[in-house]
Structure 1
Amino acid sequence: MAKTHVTMTVNGETVEGLVEPRTLLVHFIRENLQLTGTHIGCETTHCGACTIDIDGMSVKSCTMFAVQAEGAAITTIEGVANADGTLSALQEGFRQMHGLQCGFCTPGMILRAQRLLQENPTPSEEEIRFGIAGNLCRCTGYQNIVKAIQYAAAKINGTEFQEAAQ
C-alpha cells in the first residue's frame, strides 16, 4: 500500500512522517513519534484513553486517521506540563487529590479536563462529571478525579480550593 506524507504540529513541534492511509492517529503518535503517553484502550471511542487535543477540540485518536490530522495542532499528555517542566495545574491536581490509581485512563482524562477548563474555567461538579463522561476509569469511582479537576480550576483561577464536605 502506498504511503502518504503527513505533517502536523505535536506539542509545539512540527513533525512529519510517512503513513499508510489506514494508520490510526493513535498509532502514528505512539509508534512513529514514540509518544507513548497516549494510551490505546478500546479502539472504538468508548474508553477515552487515547484522548488528545486537536485544533482546540478533545478527540479520541483511536478513530481518526493520521492523514486526517494533516496540518493540525495536536497536544498529547507529553505536552501538558509547564514550559519549565513543572507539573501543570491538572497534573498537580491529580497528584494532590489522588485522582489516579492504575493511571491508564489518566492521560486521556487530563487532556479532556484541560479542554473542559479552557471552555469553562469554573465548572460545577455536575459540569465536570458531564465533561469527562466520555472517559472511563475502572479504578477510582471518579470522586478524586472530580476533586483533581476542581483543584486545578481553583489554582488556574487564583482562588482557594475548597474541598466539598462528604
Structure 2
Amino acid sequence: MGKVISFEDRAVARLRERLGAVEEANQDLLAFARGHSGAVASIHEAMLAALDTDSLESLFHVVTQEWPLILGLDSVALALVIGDQGFRADADGVQFVAPQIVDRAVKGVDGVEMRNVGRGHPLFGPACSLIRSEALVRIDADSPLPYGLLVLGQRSEQKLDGRHGSELLLFLGNGLAAMIRRWLTNPTT
C-alpha cells in the first residue's frame, strides 16, 4: 500500500512567508504615503510663502532664508542669468557669477535632477563642501526674462524618490519661475 505524503506543513509555511511579504510591502507603502504627504504639504507651504511676497527681493529672501526651514533643507541657492549677467542668491546674500557657469549647469539638467554627491554643486557657494544630497531644478523663462537653477541641498545622503519627488520639485521650480516673471513684468501687483 502507498504512503500518504502531507503537503499541509509546506503549504502553511509558504502561506506564512507570503503573508509576511505582503505585510512588509504594506508597511513600506504606508511609510511612502506618509512621507509623500509630508513632502506635498511642505512644497505647498513653500509656494504659499512665495505667493505672499510683495517684491522680487522679498521673494529671494523667502527662497533662500525660509524655504530651507519649510522644506527641511540645509542649503538653498538660486542662480539666474539675466541678459549677459549671472548671479546667485543664498543665505549670505547675492553674489555675481559668470553666466557661463549657470549656462553649463542648466544644460546638464532636464527639469529636475536629484542625486547623492561627494561634494555639492559649486552654485551652493561656500556650502558646497558640506552638501551630500542635492536637487537641481531648472528655472525656465523666455528671453528677456531670467533663467537658471534652484539648488537644494542636504548635509546627509538621502534615499531619493525618483518620479514623485521630481514632480514635486518641478512644481516648486515652475511656481518659482512664475513668481519671478510676475515680479519682473508687473512689479506693482
Specify which structure has the bigger relative contact order, considering alpha-carbon pairs within 8 angstroms and separated by 6 or more residues: 1
**Higher percent of residues as strand:** 2
Interval of TM-score (by shorter of Structure 1 and Structure 2): under 0.3
What is the TM-score when the length of structure 1 is the normalising length? Answer: 0.25
What is the TM-score when the length of structure 2 is the normalising length? Answer: 0.23
Larger Rg: 2
